[in-house]
Amino acid sequence: MPKKSKSKQEMDEDYVEDTDLEHDSDVEDYVTGFGGKTRRQAVSGEGKFNFTSAEKTQMFRHAIRHRYCSNYPPTGPIFIDLIRQLISPLQGLRYTKACTEALVNWINNNVSSAMLGELFMMRCQGRFGTVSVYSIAIASSLVAAVEESDFTFDDILALRDPYNPITDHHVKGGRQFVEFGASVDVVSEHSWASLVREAVSELARTGSISRPSNASPAYPAYQSSSSASHNVACTQVVPVSVYSDQAQPLYPTDRKNLDHKMFCWNVWRKWVTDGIMAHARKSNLVQAMPGNLKAEIAWNGGSPDFNVEVDYVDWYIKHNESKNGVV
């Protein structure tokens, strides 16, 4: 039986449908985004992320400006700022998570003692039970170098060159360091994994992650308006409690709000860290850690990591009342 011929309209409909499918496949399979990967490659874990020189420079500069490294993870808001600057658009949870994990892997490998050598200083101040205390500092010459307009990550790759200007300035300047902060056992993989999970969750909650759309083009990474700014504004409006140390007063009714809990946890972690480091400098760890700090660490399960079962809001309220002399 001869095959029935199609009308022009039917052929047009087939052509349009086929074109759409082909376009979807092209975007999914051939249009590259963050790290030189297509969305399909990123989600499936196929191949390695091949970051451009510009992406590497932006990641490294962001880390030095905002004072974080492999052994000292950033706060949630700072990490989200990095994600928004580099990964655009954020299409789908799996894609966002894969790209975010790639960010973490790159930071762990490149903003580290192994990469920076004598420009990176991390000293273990001691251990209190299962908790390690570190002081972390980066060479002042490196902090200054990333603010130069012509700085690129290639300058870091050339650090082993004896005539590298960053190393030369470090030596001639008396080997000065800038303290990044105190790290209380935040070097574990669990801490970074928690950071990724919390960041992706926050991005999804605020509507920053769109549903995958194969018809969407790839956009260039967002560039901050000021290369000298240490506090780059995020592109999404988020609750002030997440980003500001001057949050609105909190009350027991706020305990179920994750934004408030995360903010209060950051305040708690900083308070404990500052207390331990002050004790370490004062006593050189000869004296036992004060009982109140031991109790705080035990209260959080012996770890500084965010614990969803701990009532950080209640701690924050009592902490402020004590600080303000309220009984």
- Residue 19: the pLDDT is 34
pLDDT at 34 over 80: yes
Q: Report the interhelical angle of 291-299 vs 258-283 (nearest 10°).
A: 150
Rounded Cα–Cα distance for residues 138 and 153 (Å): 16
- Residue 155: the pLDDT is 94
Rounded Cα–Cα distance for residues 81 and 37 (Å): 21
pLDDT at 64 over 80: yes
Q: Which of 226, 212, 234 is nearest to 33 (CA)?
A: 212
Contact residues for 171 (Cβ-Cβ < 8 A; gap 6+):
none
Which residue would you say has higher pLDDT here, 289 or 244?
A: 289
Rounded Cα–Cα distance for residues 120 and 107 (Å): 14
Query: In a 3-state reduction of DSSP, which class is residue 75?
Result: coil
**β-bridge pairing 177-184 and 131-139:** antiparallel
Rounded Cα–Cα distance for residues 287 and 251 (Å): 37
Cα(first)–Cα(last) distance of the chain, in Å? 94
Instruction: For the chain, give every domain's residue range.
Output: 27-229, 239-327
Query: Tokens representing 248?
Result: 């609105």
Q: Band of the pLDDT at 40, cuts 50, 70, 90?
A: confident
Q: Band of the pLDDT at 129, cuts 50, 70, 90?
A: low
pLDDT for 183-237, tens place per residue? 554 444 457 888 888 888 888 888 888 766 543 333 333 333 333 233 332 222 2
CB 90 within 8 A of CB 96: yes
Q: How many CB atoms lie within 10 A of CB 303?
A: 16
